[in-house]
Structure 1
């Protein structure tokens, strides 16, 4: 029992490191994408290049891990396709369209109400009923969302941006749920497969005119400097996609969907910092207050939920199942 507890604690510590690395990497994507879109790129083109480059980078690492077991790939085909469609292409396209209509910070704060959606999904799908603290935290998060949109002062917020950001929120929730599945499939294989599928789907959608694919070689201008286009492209593909997705999957499989989605809120802080540094987007005081309320709300949601179970700890899973069966 002591060995199992120690193993579980080690998994959680490692998972937290992976989660923080993933959140920081993801946080850089919005400001880089905004820079590219300001230089003439379409949102779909940014996403397509980002995920395809990441998939190509990860492929040489994924194939050896697969060890020629194509049956394993076939058995997880639905998961990989869903991951590519929803967690990769859908979420990132929605997020980058959102930052084209509103600030990076506001778009990301809306997207990262996703942990509340994760809790709702686990309640509906797995009968893990939330308690009073969870409901109260969700209400606080919704109030914070209204402040982020600055509805109190009557600030005009593009409704198109809000719709895209909410779509990104549901996609992010799906990302955390899907990342916890298929534990027999190496995380790098899931990431590479999902990224490549997502990229190919975007290219096909662009070819038939569903989404505009437009890219330029114009230099990218940020707040205090200008850089060749290929530098942000390389960073957005390798750092904010390849590194971010692999570490994110590794974190979710160690922490579970709920805790991983909670730790991922540090992406909000990273993105705000990167947006301020690269784009000069200083958040308004009322938006900082709203962001704080969202973070507090999700913390309360997290505290109101059962202890997450790391992958690979059957004894802890049995205890968690017993706890989840009790009224919350």
Structure 2
């Protein structure tokens, strides 16, 4: 559980810093560039530890789910708001819980209450009194990001191969889009390149590596729930880094997320 919590902290820190250097980069440039640079950074690992042939089909599913989670998330926040996109993506624990119940699994009542509390807390913390904003298309992108994130966690559970090699799938799928916008990439300022490099290292490779380390033994439903610490850490980091005040209802939402995670510890 600790690796997943650390991943959520890094995602939250990246979210708090993102507003400073990522507003000028459109999603059709940011998404494929993030995949490409992340994969190139991990290419030595792929060459040293090539995935076994029997795990190839599963890695393909992991890669497709990871690509969808990242792409749909950025499309959602581009078409709606960051708050709406984050909240919708973290419907993933609810989707996995619903799937478990439909399969006939008997979950304890405290676990179900914990999921409900965490989702309610995320809504209070991230969305607030203004409610969900954005177009129907943006909300659809957000729901697809939640489904992709849930599938990504489920497919990665127990995987022996380092699942981050699945970033290659996203790279191959998005490379034609990146080539179409290569002129924009070449025109990046030093500040924009710094933001991209931060997002690739401490916003992608390190936190996703920690998440996947945790989800090898932690059930996908619990892992995605613990990852909901991201909006809480983002709000806490945004206070000193971006000068955003901590609203009383945000603190209440954060406590509800912590309680929901605690109820699902085992």
Q: TM-score normalized by structure 2?
A: 0.80
Residue in structure 2 matching 1:263, options 226, 233, 252: 226
Which runs of at least 4 in structure 1 moved beyond 6 Å after TM superposition? 206-209
Between structures 1 and 2, the one with greater helix share: 2
Q: In structure 1, how many angstroms separate the alpha carbons of the residues matched to 2:252 and 2:173?
A: 39
Match of 1:199 in 2: 171
Residue in structure 2 matching 1:167, options 116, 133, 144: 144
1:94: how far off?
Answer: 2.2
Figure out how many residues of one structure are paired with residues of the other and give that number: 264
Q: In structure 2, how many angstroms separate the alpha carbons of the residues matched to 1:99 and 1:283?
A: 22
Matching of residue 114 in structure 1 with residue 92 in structure 2: yes
Matching of residue 132 in structure 1 with residue 109 in structure 2: yes
Quick one: structure 1 residues 279 and 217, their matched pair in 2 at CA, closer, same or farther if it must change by over 3 Å? farther
Quick one: structure 1 residues 154 and 241, their matched pair in 2 at CA, closer, same or farther if it must change by over 3 Å? closer
Quick one: structure 1 residues 254 and 169, their matched pair in 2 at CA, closer, same or farther if it must change by over 3 Å? same
1:231: how far off?
Answer: 0.8
CA deviations 1:264-300 (Å, max 9, x no partner) are: 2322222223444554444644344344434434543
CA deviations 1:35-82 (Å, max 9, x no partner) are: 45422x21132121112111111110232123xxx6x2x322222222
Deviates more, 1:47-56 or 1:266-275: 266-275
Match of 2:157 in 1: 180
1:101: how far off?
Answer: 5.0
Rg comparison, structure with higher value: 1
Q: Which secondary structure state, in structure 2, belongs to the residue aligned with residue 100 of structure 1?
A: helix
Quick one: structure 1 residues 282 and 176, their matched pair in 2 at CA, closer, same or farther if it must change by over 3 Å? farther
- Segments of 5+ residues of structure 1 without an aligned counterpart are 1-14, 220-226, 308-328
Matching of residue 240 in structure 1 with residue 203 in structure 2: yes
Quick one: structure 1 residues 169 and 198, their matched pair in 2 at CA, closer, same or farther if it must change by over 3 Å? same
Q: Do 1:116 and 1:298's aligned partners in 2 also have CA atoms closer than 8 Å?
A: no
Q: Do 1:112 and 1:268's aligned partners in 2 also have CA atoms closer than 8 Å?
A: no
1:97: how far off?
Answer: 2.8
Matching of residue 85 in structure 1 with residue 30 in structure 2: no
1:195: how far off?
Answer: 0.8
Q: Which secondary structure state, in structure 2, belongs to the residue aligned with residue 158 of structure 1?
A: coil
Give 1:5-16 correspondences, 5 Å limit: 16=2
Q: Do 1:54 and 1:195's aligned partners in 2 also have CA atoms closer than 8 Å?
A: yes
- Segments of 5+ residues of structure 2 without an aligned counterpart are none
Q: In structure 2, how many angstroms separate the alpha carbons of the residues matched to 1:145 and 1:79?
A: 31
Quick one: structure 1 residues 255 and 35, their matched pair in 2 at CA, closer, same or farther if it must change by over 3 Å? same
Match of 1:313 in 2: none
Q: Which secondary structure state, in structure 2, belongs to the residue aligned with residue 255 of structure 1?
A: coil
Give 1:197-236 correspondences, 5 Å limit: 197-204=169-176, 215=185, 217-219=187-189, 228-236=191-199
